[in-house]
Every structure is written in C-alpha cells, then in structure tokens.
Structure 1
C-alpha cells in the first residue's frame, strides 16, 4: 500500500463517532452495494469490494457512524479521505450520500462513487466526472437525493447477462473465478485512480485510466 500511496494511512479513532466532525475531508469515496452476507460476493457489491480492499491496505476498519452508513477516515498523501459503505440497499443509496455530504459539509464534486456496470465488459474500468444514471438505480437515487449529477464516479464492469437471463438475478449473482479475478484487478486499478484523482484531478484520472 505504501508503494501506491507513498504516505502513512491512519485511522482517526472513534473519538469523533457520534459527535460533530470539524475535520473536513478532501474526498469521500463511497462504494455501492447491498448490506448483509447474502449479497457480499455478488456483482452488485463490487463497490463494497473496493472500499474493503482500500481499508484493508490502510489497516483500518469501517464502523457504524449512522443508521445509513459504515465509514472510516484515512490520510492519503497528507489529505483526509472518508471511506464509506452505505447500510441502505443500492436503490436507496441517496439517503447515505445525503447524510455524508451534510455531515462533512462537502460538495458533490468531492464525492467519488464506485459501482458495478453491466454495460461494461468484465474488469473494464471507466471514470466519469458527471453524468446520468445510465440505468443504474443506485446512481438514480443519488442524483435524486442531491438534485445533481455533478459528482465523479468509477464504474467497474461486471459483464452482461445472456438475453434469456434475468438482469436482477445476474447482478445479485456471484461471478465465477475468472470474472472475479478480472474484477479484483480493476479494483486495484481503481484504487490507483482514486489516488490520481485526489492528488491531480478527475480529468487526469480519466485520461490515465479510461
């Protein structure tokens, strides 16, 4: 992890849990997914996978900070970053995002949402600075909650179901070993892209990783 970020990552302890937070993060990274063990390995939870991978590399754990959210704080390149996983289901992600932005007093442009995309090949990564929901109900929820689509997002391709297969069943299903490996590789690339976005810009991250 140190070779990627080049800086100490630390957990800001539970001292601030449940209290007003005076420290304002540079970035809030939210992984999208459904809570609970039944969904943990599903394609729809690749956003959670990235957050968990990043937290593990940083040596921190997410804890419950609100009825809508698990989160933690890390320091990356001397910048404070919040990592979060909503406790809502995907279709209600906007509730968690609204809480996070209000709690920390940051703008939607300081948000990065990581989520699955059935319109991209397995393991393909795509970064965007803004845009429509593209048919993703979780992103639609965020846009409605914020009344804005002006927030960066990282889409991780999980492939698409066969024409005769059910789309919901597909995204809630578990990828095979080959697909899982491709997705995990894109998660590693996504972590590097977040570092670039934080230290440079979303445009630079798009140029380097799309």
Structure 2
C-alpha cells in the first residue's frame, strides 16, 4: 500500500465526522483564467487540480476571494484554497481564511512553483523567506509571519540569465516536462498530507528531491 493510499484510507475513515473543525489550510498558488492554465507559475493550482481529479475532492466554492473546498487530508479536516486574486495578491485569501477559522501560520501549507529547482523536484520547508516568489511574499506580508510550511514544486531554471523571469514563469511546460511535473504535483499533495500527519521533518525526509533521486 502506497503512502497516498494509507492517507486516503485514514481520511475516508474520518470523513463522516462533519462536525470536525477545519484545522489546516492547504493553499495552491496560481493565476486564474484559461490563458494561465499549464504555465509554470500555476504549479500550485495544478497540484490541487490533479488531486481533485484523483479523489473527487471539490474546490469550487467562491469564499475568501478564492475557490475553496473542505475535505480530509492526513487525517484532519482542511480547507483547500486556490486564490483568485492573481499571484501577487494571494495573501488576501489566505489571511481571510486563516482569520475566519482561527488557524495559525504553522497550520497553513502553501504549494508553489520554484524556478530554482529542476522540473519535477520537490522541496519541503517548515518556514522561510519568499525566495523571490511573489505569492509567498504577499502571504508573508498579510500573515505578518514567515513561519508557515511550504512545498515548492520545481518548474525549471530560466534558459539563460538574460531571459525575462515573468516570461519564463508564464510559459507552458513542454511535452517532455509534463510527466515529471505531474508526478511532482501528485507528490506535493502527498507531502502536505505527511506534514499534517507526521510533521515537516518527516515530509522533507521523504519528499525533498524525490524526482532527482528517481532519475
């Protein structure tokens, strides 16, 4: 039985307890609209969309300036969020949802793209700076804290140093890259479940650099 199957079984066993409060936020970052689908910057959206396709989870209610949906992950009730404010204002949705559910930063997991990582590589971090990612930067600003877990999905380095970063993150994955990034997006939600059930160190040990290790 895979790690994901174990988490899914645990979630199914607890799913009937509708009275269980939301204890975690799992936030996928991206830009709304069809023109941004499949772009590198939308890796967080891609991870949650893939999870929904695999499990039937719904993230389709407009709340907190985001598409939202409650579900079980890692044995806890979570609110999945896809902010609809565009990347640079992602923190508004996270701030409002966190305030409503009284969730501390340590229970907010953010899935985002990372241009410093090879395509398909994951990096789990318990906290830290934005590292140039504007969605993370805005979340830090609105939460007034860097102390939230994040799962970075590698989308590849710029082809050369002079290449415009905005053009790069808004470019689409090539056919050769899609298999690796889709596997990383699947693993990213598994890593979020692992953070919830076992903590960031366990998730980092299992998932950091997973795609590189398999190559």
User: TM-score higher than 0.5 here?
Assistant: yes
Deviating beyond 4 angstroms after TM superposition, the runs of 4 or more aligned structure 1 residues are 1-4, 9-13
Residue equivalent to 1:19: none
Counterpart in the other structure of 1:6:
9
Question: 119-128 or 70-79, which moves further after superposition?
Answer: 70-79
Structure 1 vs Structure 2 CA RMSD: 2.1
* Matching residue of 1:108: 105
Aligned to 2:203: 205
C-alpha contact (below 8 Å) 1:12/1:72 kept by paired residues: no
| Unaligned residue ranges in structure 2 (runs of 5+) | 209-215
In the TM superposition, residue 67 of structure 1 has moved relative to its aligned partner by 5.4
Deviation at 1:132, TM superposition (A): 0.5
Residue 33 of structure 1 pairs with residue 1 of structure 2: no
2:66 is the alignment partner of 1:76: no
Per the normalisation by structure 1, the TM-score is: 0.89
1:146-205: CA deviation from partner (whole Å, max 9, x where unpaired): 111000000011111122322111100101011111111111221221221111111111
Given that 2:64 and 2:96 are in contact with CA atoms closer than 8 Å, whether structure 1 keeps it comes out as no
Q: Which digits, 9 at most, give the CA deviation of each residue in 1:52-73, with x for residues without a partner?
A: 1122222132223325111111
Helix, strand or coil at the partner of 1:6: helix
Match of 1:152 among 149, 152, 166: 149
Aligned length: 202
Counterpart CA distance in 1 for 2:16 and 2:84 is 20
| Counterpart Cα distance in 1 of 2:86 and 2:25 | 19
Deviations 1:73-114 (A, max 9, x none): 112354211111001110001101111101211101100000
* Structure 1: runs of 5 or more not aligned: 14-21
Q: What is the CA-CA distance between 1:11 and the residue it aligns to?
A: 9.7
Once the two structures are superposed, the pairs formed by residues 38-57 of structure 1 within 5 Å of their partners are 38-57=35-54
SS of 2:32 mapped into structure 1: coil
User: Contact conserved, 1:125 with 1:190, CA < 8 A, in 2?
Assistant: yes
Question: Are the equivalent residues in 1 in contact too, given 2:119–2:155 (CA < 8 A)?
Answer: yes
Residue pair 2:7, 2:74 contacting (<8 A) in 1 also? no
Q: Distance in 2 between matches of 1:71 and 1:45?
A: 16
Matching residue within 153, 169, 179 for 2:167: 169
Counterparts of 2:133 and 2:89 in 1: how far apart (Å)? 12
Higher mean Cα deviation, 73-82 or 186-195? 73-82
